[in-house]
Copies of this chain bind each other. A is one copy, B any other.
Amino acid sequence: MLDQIHLLAAVTVLGVMEQAYFFLQVIYARRAFGISPPKISGPPEFERIFRAQVNSSEYFPIFLAILWQAGLFFHQGVAAALGLFYLCARYCYFMGYKTSASERLAPIYFSAGVLWILVTVSALGVSHFFLSHYMGLNILQLLTA
């Protein structure tokens, strides 16, 4: 059973490490700008780093949920590869946003594109399972027949 999820697990662990890195960046920024919790407002440099972390945290559970459905119902290798692209895009997003608000745009569009592909392949994989499970239809066989 574990060989059906080990690539997804590896991407998940990498993703958690990336989130930890973003949290550390906010802690460093809080020290550098002298902004103690519970305050969350400050100079734009701080607010950009803070928002980059918040945005990444908000998307993380969505990313994991769709990564695992894509991996279980479509193809584990494809899902894990898309997952790695997403994690790279998130890193570029964070680093870009740290520099300026406009430099977050290209990587956020790229990461959104990867998420849409994951959503699409998940929906295809789950739909395919429903069709074959409840109606005995095998689309792949029909297409190649």
Residues of A within 8 A of B (CB): 1-3, 5-6, 9-10, 12-13, 15-17, 19-20, 36-40, 44, 47-48, 50-51, 54, 57-58, 60-62, 64-66, 69, 72-73, 97, 101, 104, 115-116, 119, 122-123, 126, 129-130, 133
Contacting A6 at CB < 8 Å: which of B6, B9, B51, B133?
A: B133
Shortest A60–chain B CB gap in Å is 6
Given the known inter-chain contacts A19-B62, A38-B51, A60-B62, please indicate yes or no for A5 contacting B72, CB distance below 8 A.
Answer: yes
A36 engages B101 (CB within 8 Å)? yes
Q: A2-B72, A123-B13 are in contact. Are A50 and B62 (CB under 8 A)?
A: no
Name the one of B3, B37, B61, B126 contacting A133, with C-beta atoms under 8 angstroms.
B3
A2 engages B50 (CB within 8 Å): no
Q: Are A47 and B57 in contact (CB under 8 A)?
A: no
Chain B residues with CB under 8 Å of A13's CB are 66, 69, 119, 122-123, 126
**Are A47 and B38 neighbours in the complex by a CB distance under 8 Å?**
yes
The residues of B that contact A51 with a CB separation of less than 8 Å are 37-38, 40
CA distance A40 to B1 in the complex (A): 44
A15 to B66 CA separation, bound complex (whole angstroms): 10
